[in-house]
Amino acid sequence: MRGAVGRSGLAALAALAALAGQAGQAAAQQPGWEVRVPERIDVVLGEAGVLPIAVAVDRGLSVSRDAPVIVDLAGPGLGLKRTRLGRAEAVDPGADAPRFAVALRPTAAGELTAKVRIRLWLCGAQACRPLDVRREAKVIVAAAPAPPAP
């Protein structure tokens, strides 16, 4: 005897493992929506930069207009005017999937990290569900060029 699990039990376990793998792949793809934040942004010290944040949804889905869209931003040295945005601050507040253009004015040269958390309700034809998504972007701040010598 091979232990507590016979051949039929091993086959059942293998089938469950295969199904779990397929479910994991489907969940990892997150079909129907995406929050887009660039991995890297280059800015020159003393100049303004923009961190674009976009919610993309497939046809038939939308971001609820009845529930809030909350974008929280964090990152020392980024020179953020506001650390919380709502749908009203979106570039296109009436769109099915809002986009944001966050102004940055870094205070020091180097590599900084912009942390983004966005909360919203994603709606289909019959139901809505909450989304809470976190993303990060590297902000590379180059020193300002030296002024020309007189």
Q: Which pLDDT value is given to residue 30?
A: 52
User: Which residues of the chain carry a pLDDT beneath 50?
Assistant: 1-3, 5, 9-17, 19-29
The Cα–Cα gap between 101 and 145 comes to 26
In the chain the first and final C-alpha atoms are separated, in Å, by: 92
CATH dotted code for 32-142: 2.60.40.10
- The 10 Å CB-count burial string (b at 16+, else e) for 86-96 is ebeebeeeebe
Q: Which pLDDT value is given to residue 144?
A: 76
Beta bridge partners of 119: 70, 132
Confirm if 101 and 38 have CB atoms less than 8 A apart.
Answer: no
Q: Which pLDDT value is given to residue 105?
A: 94
Q: Which pLDDT value is given to residue 121?
A: 96
Q: Which amino acid is at 53?
A: I
Question: In 3-state terms, what secondary structure has residue 47?
Answer: coil
Pick the closest to residue 96 from 132, 61, 54 (CA basis): 61
Q: Which pLDDT value is given to residue 147?
A: 72
- What residue segments make up the domains of the chain, in order of their start? 1-30, 32-142
**Structure pTM?**
0.74
pLDDT tens profile 92-118 = 998 889 999 999 999 989 999 999 999
